[in-house]
């Protein structure tokens, strides 16, 4: 986009107007329910005009100057709603601004709106939202009549759906256990989770910290700004394919795409090795992830009591404890309450469950690190199953299926390693995208991005 702006082939104003048209189509015509908040259009038009003027005088602030970008609803935006898609924060206006928002605005990006999500990031389908579920926009891009209503993934489903529909040209999400990568896979987009410590979390409404407080003694220091990406060629690349992730629950088309991707990269000169003996903790990683996530959610969400901020039930006929309980019962959704109860349970067992989960995470991190000493990157699918079909009356959102779908993504999250999901084609007979995931060493974000570009060109562009 910045190249197009600089060459005068288009302008930030034209790009913004295009996004306005797409938002009207997605939200009004198709009811995709992608956004939870849209700023006044006159404010955005003023920002686009200022950006257009900067490009006209060659004084643009950055490569993202003038690009319409959406942000997830749990990222604090000064004096704007920051609901995290929860009734608890439905009318909450943030008094602070997240560091990532501050950096975007100072770089000239146009923040076009906040996107729908699973409440406090708890979910894999963007069905656990106080604003209702979001719909995957991909079927609405084709000529299929009528288009299927399928899940965009979660928890950053609104972000991925908005990018796929071009309601925004990029979106900022959060990824605790795969919440950026899974929606990217379902919506045919690219989704990147940087190394833990690479991007400040200040100003994010978190349910689980996953790699912070509990890992304080061993957490790596904040990463410095990344240098220019290293130049990599497929012929110099060593790719590990962890056979431990070949599970019976995986959809045949996803497994086929994984095998095909590895074969294509091998034929193109990369050294591709299938290994089975290194990541032995994978079988326990999903259980460890949910124990940690629920335990930290029960702690982190304790502050939402309606007293200092958030929704509140005021009842003079009950004591404070009852009012507190009534407030949380009314304004937290069912999935949030389920995870808080689960977290309270695992923490009440003298911490043994939580301690065991932390040990599994540490072991998994060591196993990943050892594997990445042998290989430059790891290659595996982003999900085990296609997106659920909301039109299927017999298909309810199964909690076990939701959790199982995180199997491919929680490893990189537990370890704090960089991971990216890139879209590859499914079988011709299938109507959904398959995401392929590339994982690298902690701090090796540039290499992961560079390899992802090479792999995408070989698997998608060159076909």
Query: According to DSSP H, which parts of 236-308 are helical?
Result: 252-267, 282-300
Does the annotation count 151 as an active-site position?
Answer: no
CB atoms within 10 A of CB 40: 8
Catalytic residue among 70, 155, 168, 383: 155
Q: How far is CA 350 from CA 147, 312, 344, 346, 353, in A?
A: 51, 32, 11, 8, 8
Asked if residues 48 and 110 have their Cβ atoms less than 8 Å apart, the reply is yes
331, 88 Cβ separation under 8 angstroms: yes
Tokens 């290994």 appear where? 275
Of 52, 70, 72, 311, the active-site residue reads 72
**R_g over Cα of the chain:** 22
Given the residues 129, 179, 268, 285, the one annotated as active site: 179
- Between CA 33 and CA 21 the distance in angstroms is 15
Q: Is 263 considered catalytic here?
A: no
Q: Is 155 a catalytic residue?
A: yes
Alpha carbons 159 and 163: distance in angstroms, whole number: 6
Residues 70 and 159: beta-carbon distance below 8 Å: yes
CB 135 within 8 A of CB 373: no
204 neighbors 74 (Cβ within 8 angstroms): yes
> In the sheet where 68-72 sits, what is the strand order?
35-37, 110-115, 68-72, 170-172
Q: φ and ψ at 337, to 5 degrees? A: -65, -40
Instruction: State the catalytic residues.
Output: 72, 155, 179
């Amino acid at each position: 986009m910045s190249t197009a702006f600089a060459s005068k082939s288009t302008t930030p104003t034209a790009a913004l107007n295009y996004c306005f048209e797409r938002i009207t189509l997605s939200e009004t015509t198709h009811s995709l329910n992608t956004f939870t908040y849209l700023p006044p259009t006159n404010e955005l038009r003023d920002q686009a005009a200022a950006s257009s003027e900067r490009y006209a005088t060659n004084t643009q602030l950055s490569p993202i100057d003038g690009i319409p970008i959406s942000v997830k609803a749990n990222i604090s935006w000064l004096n704007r709603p920051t609901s995290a898609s929860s009734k608890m924060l439905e009318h909450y206006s943030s008094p602070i601004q997240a560091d990532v928002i501050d950096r975007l605005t100072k770089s000239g990006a146009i923040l076009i709106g906040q996107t729908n999500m699973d409440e406090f990031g708890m979910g894999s389908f963007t069905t656990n939202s106080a604003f209702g579920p979001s719909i995957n926009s991909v079927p609405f891009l084709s000529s299929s009549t009528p288009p299927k209503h399928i899940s965009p993934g979660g928890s950053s489903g609104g972000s991925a759906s908005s990018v796929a529909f071009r309601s925004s040209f990029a979106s900022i999400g959060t990824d605790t256990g795969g919440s950026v990568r899974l929606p990217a896979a379902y919506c045919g987009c690219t989704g990147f989770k940087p190394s833990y410590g690479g991007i400040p979390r200040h100003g994010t409404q978190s349910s689980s910290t996953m790699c912070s407080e509990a890992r304080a003694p061993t957490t790596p220091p904040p990463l410095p700004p990344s240098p220019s990406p290293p130049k990599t060629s497929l012929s110099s690349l060593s790719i590990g394919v962890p056979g431990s992730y070949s599970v019976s629950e995986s959809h045949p088309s996803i497994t086929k795409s994984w095998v095909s991707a590895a074969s294509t990269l091998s034929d193109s000169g990369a050294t591709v090795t299938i290994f089975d003996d290194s990541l032995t903790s994978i079988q326990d990683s999903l259980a460890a992830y949910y124990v940690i996530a629920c335990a930290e959610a029960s702690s982190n969400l304790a502050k939402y009591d309606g007293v200092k901020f958030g929704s509140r039930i005021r009842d003079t006929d009950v004591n404070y404890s009852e009012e507190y309980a009534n407030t949380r019962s009314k304004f937290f959704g069912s999935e949030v309450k389920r995870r808080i109860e689960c977290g309270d349970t695992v923490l009440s067992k003298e911490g043994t469950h939580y301690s065991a989960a932390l040990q599994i995470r540490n072991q998994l991190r060591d196993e990943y690190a050892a594997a990445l000493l042998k290989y430059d990157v790891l290659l595996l699918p982003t999900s085990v199953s296609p997106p659920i079909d909301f039109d299927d009356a017999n298909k309810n959102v199964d909690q076990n299926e939701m959790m199982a779908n995180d199997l491919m993504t929680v490893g990189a999250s537990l370890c704090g390693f960089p991971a990216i999901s890139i879209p590859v084609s499914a079988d011709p007979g299938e109507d959904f995208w398959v995401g392929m995931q590339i994982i690298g060493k902690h701090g090796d974000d540039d290499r992961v991005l560079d390899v992802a570009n090479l792999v995408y060109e070989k698997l998608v562009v060159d076909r």
